[in-house]
Structure 1
């Protein structure tokens, strides 16, 4: 009889865990409370008929950089990634800075800071596979590529505001790095924020910043298609309210620590106390638009990238991210995605979509004037933006949590991305996926390596389950795996 696994949650990490165990020959059942699978990787018609909007993530660099995703045959199940001509545009008063796929081409945009940019990024881009293998896992484990990790750590540990001012003299390079680092959703004066900027820059140069054709739902649908091929099953409209409802050898939970406490009321007190102390990150205020025409950027070069960082200079972005912990900033830093110039399947012919969000205090309930602040940021760079808007959908931090309980207070990253929040996620351990309940594992973004569509928490939690259930290793090359397709090498030799 094969081992039986129950996975709670059908986000990318839950599906990654399910796929890993199914590839090992386990009998896997996934339970999803919602009518649509995917968690933060879903799409829906939020505005007008025919417009496809991503409910959560919109651009997916880590889905192509992840060691786990790189070993999945998802193109066989309909997944097709789209690359815009440039991964990123960062508008500034003097003109838009474009991030190219090439390091040297990007450096050419940065004037006198070009050589410093090459010195910073070229060694890391050349070692990108090793870098992602080291960073997309718990940092408590011994590195296989210590030299690469040390080089990354020296540059990644300082606050982004400090590194940008130290390395670069001009505003284009400083602002570009600030926008990349602001994905951390914490103040840019905090340690390790440089690491986020470096990781995103490396991913852009080494792999690009693509998105799935037709909507983020395509990633989820392809993962489920592959899981079904392996014999796994996903149950929709199937909420789990107590882990004792599940009859399985192991239970993997793609849930936040808060949700885990709800599902497992019998946890030991000391472990419960540690989980209750887990700190969540900033919330989001998200806007989705149906547009009659593309965003009318003043600088036409801004339209050449699917991702746009709206926030201005290093100083402006630093101020915005510092203010976001206590209020909606007066001039918020925005992450904006414009898919339809490169993927017209997401809107009716000749029309377009826009996706954007800004960081706000956790659990914040916005007022109309605060929503206007986000739109005003776009209008500064595209003065006739409101004239092309057909419809708008607003998602507050509170609403995000109501729709997905993993997004505690609207936190889309699974926890605060401070240095301690990275190390203690949700507890300090080389294998934090194990819980104090036998056979129960956490595999959400609240475990290492944290947020992002990379599947690594699910993959690594599943490896821990395989290691804990000796005898499972001999089934790691499953008979249902298509000819010529093998699990990754370290999946064949689980190291927990």
Structure 2
């Protein structure tokens, strides 16, 4: 077997990004995937009935649209296209109000009424200067390229979302803010949770929360085809348990979590590094349900049918309590549910006249409780009659998600909790968190900065470091 310049284990968005970054430099690479198809969290399958295409994991991709790396690639040439629903997100309340994140700062501010100016002050700087801020926000902790802009962002971003919520006066604005912050999958009282809400809101206003035509697998397919057009090689159906089974290589990049790295055979990590990896903390898990539906979901507020994502958690107080209980390892009876109906915007997802439904909620890591009915009950609160539209369903518990994708430890889709102690110091606190204790082995998963999401930036940064340290190639960030 010939020797490769780099082998990348794992074909999720970060593994693909690392492989592409290497291949763009004309080096020889091999992308290794254990499953029979590439994609990691970007896969689309018939999980319920024939003709119903469900996104197995990720579905809506605000950070893919905002990723400097993804935006630098000619993915449209390889068949990738997105559809933009009328609204990025909708957050209905039982009292009748609905918070709306529009694909426009002006419209969002107007809709928030007395809270519009507060919202503007939180996100306007990020929207206007995203191109300058993105490399710092979506990268490792290092000397910022635009320190003043980053400092201005940090003044708001470092605060707990619960503190920032006090600046809003209306129930709809508070709830919309809580739903954005809850994407961080941690208590809203944690430091830096405002950063999650600010960035997701800002990129929603700037780029929109868009849906890939044909499903999330379309993103993976476009990345793969671009990689192969550069001469990259792929091997599927190859679960790597011992790195000595791999062909020869100069550099190894692993789209894996610390737990998986520790389980790899043939790796001579120092005891000190092993102890540091073992201290890495996982976050809450998720419980996910997909439905084949007979019709559109009958939301009380029909605007929810036109939103890419619907946040179902009712009030700010309910969402705060839901995330707090999940973090403490307790059952949540009225969880914060993220819901999408991609078939409303992409007719290829379901047979004519039928629809798909996609939802998940945050649960204690490794929870064994079946949340299917709990999630359906939460949807029913805001869309009476939803249960009557169900033709078939498929559920993923945290354990099942981990079996499907070993990176989801205990159902943790963020690759580890993204609180202030692990936001940039993931998996360890180091100037180069991507390099392991072996000088030619790197970790490029969401367990490195900037963390979870379909954006490829973890893989891109890991590849940049490896290229510089082993091949003398400098790729500007």
Same fold per TM (> 0.5)? yes
Equivalent residues of 2:64, 2:455 under 8 A apart = yes
Corresponding position of 1:355: 358
- How many angstroms does 1:430 deviate by? 2.3
Equivalent residues of 2:46, 2:54 under 8 A apart = yes
Corresponding position of 2:204: 204
- How many angstroms does 1:377 deviate by? 0.7
Corresponding position of 1:82: 83
Are 1:99 and 2:101 counterparts? yes
- How many angstroms does 1:237 deviate by? 0.4
RMSD, matched Cα = 1.4
Q: Secondary structure at the match of 1:421?
A: coil
TM-score w.r.t. the length of structure 2 is 0.97
Cα deviation digits, residues 87-116 of structure 1 (max 9, x gap):
111111223222111112111111211122
Q: Secondary structure at the match of 2:269?
A: coil
Q: Secondary structure at the match of 2:240?
A: coil
- How many angstroms does 1:337 deviate by? 1.3
Equivalent residues of 2:277, 2:427 under 8 A apart = yes
Corresponding position of 1:234: 234
Please, which runs of 5 or more residues in structure 2 have no aligned partner?
Answer: none
Corresponding position of 1:309: 311
Equivalent residues of 1:68, 1:454 under 8 A apart = yes
Distance, in Å, in 1 between the alignment partners of 2:445 and 2:35 is: 17
Equivalent residues of 2:3, 2:249 under 8 A apart = no
Distance, in Å, in 2 between the alignment partners of 1:108 and 1:328 is: 38
TM-score w.r.t. the length of structure 1 is 0.93
- How many angstroms does 1:328 deviate by? 2.8
Counterparts of 1:122-271 in structure 2, within 5 Å, are 122-139=124-141, 141-165=142-166, 167-246=167-246, 247-264=248-265, 265-271=267-273
Equivalent residues of 2:99, 2:175 under 8 A apart = no
Please, which runs of 5 or more residues in structure 1 have no aligned partner?
Answer: 474-492
> Larger deviation: 421-430 or 47-56?
421-430
Cα deviation digits, residues 200-246 of structure 1 (max 9, x gap):
00110111111210100000000110111001111110111112222
Distance, in Å, in 1 between the alignment partners of 2:382 and 2:432 is: 46
Equivalent residues of 2:104, 2:205 under 8 A apart = yes
- How many angstroms does 1:3 deviate by? 5.8
Corresponding position of 1:494: 475
Distance, in Å, in 2 between the alignment partners of 1:288 and 1:148 is: 41
Distance, in Å, in 2 between the alignment partners of 1:372 and 1:341 is: 23
Counterparts of 1:263-302 in structure 2, within 5 Å, are 263-264=264-265, 265-302=267-304
- How many angstroms does 1:341 deviate by? 0.9
Distance, in Å, in 2 between the alignment partners of 1:304 and 1:148 is: 34
Distance, in Å, in 2 between the alignment partners of 1:123 and 1:249 is: 42
Corresponding position of 2:320: 318
Equivalent residues of 1:2, 1:26 under 8 A apart = no
Count of aligned pairs between the two proteins:
472
